[in-house]
Chains A and B, each alone.
Chain A
Amino acid sequence: MNEKVRFLQGNEACVEGALYAGLRFFAGYPITPSTELAEGLARRLPPIAGRFIQMEDEIGSLCAVLGASLTGLKAMTATSGPGFSLMQEAIGYGVMAEIPCVIVNVQRGGPSTGQPTHVSQGDVQQARWGTHGDHAIVAFTASNVKDVFRMTVEAFNVSESFRTPVILLLDEVVGHMRERLRIPEEGELPVVERLLTQVPQTVDFHPYLPREDGRLPMAHFGGHHRHNVTGLAHNIWGFPADDPASVDRLMHHLVGKIDNRAMEFAHWVDHQADDAEILLISYGASARSALDVVRRFRERGDRVGLLELQTLWPFPAALVRERCAQARRVAVVEMNMGQICREVQRVAQDPDRVYLVNQVDGRLVGPDTINQALRMIQGRGF
């Protein structure tokens, strides 16, 4: 057996994915159900001269990550609901100052301390809108250990390509379940390295002037290009600027660089979705149950399919609109009060045909619950 095939938890796969992507700095604060990430990296980083630090809280953790990223290291933090709430201000800083980093949120039940050891997908809209001010954000998710690995690598790639924080929204079930994972060989998955400026030392460097392809080369602290980084509205040199033209340019750049690439960032899996009369839309752990239901229905010849989303933000509106148009009815399966359902209803041509199938009691939404809901949606018994 290939020695790189291992039986890993989702959280452990995230550690492996991060290291594969070149992670060299992790700061975090323990919280269930994400702690395995911190513990794993506390062991794994020092031998490769990477840096690990347990900070005094989640605010400090993300701030340290941002500082390390600006100083040249690929950086990540991991947390769950309460810690994710504490990180919101610093997420906005990362967005504003365009600092690559990955923030993992292994979701648990909320609000507040909620259900620390139980599954939920209640932070989906918080990931989108949690930090104040207009902004765009990238958030990925995954429903199995292999995809956790792959989406972790992708999270780093997008964050490095577009100098932006990327949120990886896992959940307690996916974080803790074990599956076989073959760690890809080096070079098997693309890894985006940080884009550094080629501007010579004697020439003025503009840290916030995007190239034609939208990417902004960086210069690290400690290098030759001294510049300023601020969370204030700023000009292309990174100095505070509040003239309307600079602010307008900045706002459109920050939102445009993400939202204009929605389909470029979109990852999804079609599970017999093309000819589906009833289309399920789901993601994360709930997509596992949805997939089970699809199989059962298909066995009986019913045209049920699943669109599994792996990119939640920017919401892949064009994709979802197209898939919904093909189906007679759409059921969004999730473990919250309809946080992605509202997005689907927003983009679908006929929102009245979009139904929410959810469960919010701390247990994984199961195939039976989905089955039952589908019967009601169809207006008939099976």
Chain B
Amino acid sequence: MARVKKKRLLLRREWCKGCNICVAFCPTHVLGLDEENRIQILDESRCIECYLCEWRCPDFAIELVDLASEEADGAKEGAA
């Protein structure tokens, strides 16, 4: 069943320290670590937008951004 996506995941790889917290506690296994031990998305379509990854990440390295507002102001946030 296709859900309407309201958010997308924004990763800041350069701030990620590879602690695996977001990966381990994601209820739908959306996330993984890459060969450099940094955050990557395995399958965003499974994301239920529960925010738990963003809330528990100790490093501000993962975030859900609002697709609607992003389109509205055409803002594309680069990693700082």
Do A's and B's CB atoms come within 8 Å in the complex? no
Interface of A toward B, CB cutoff 8 Å: none
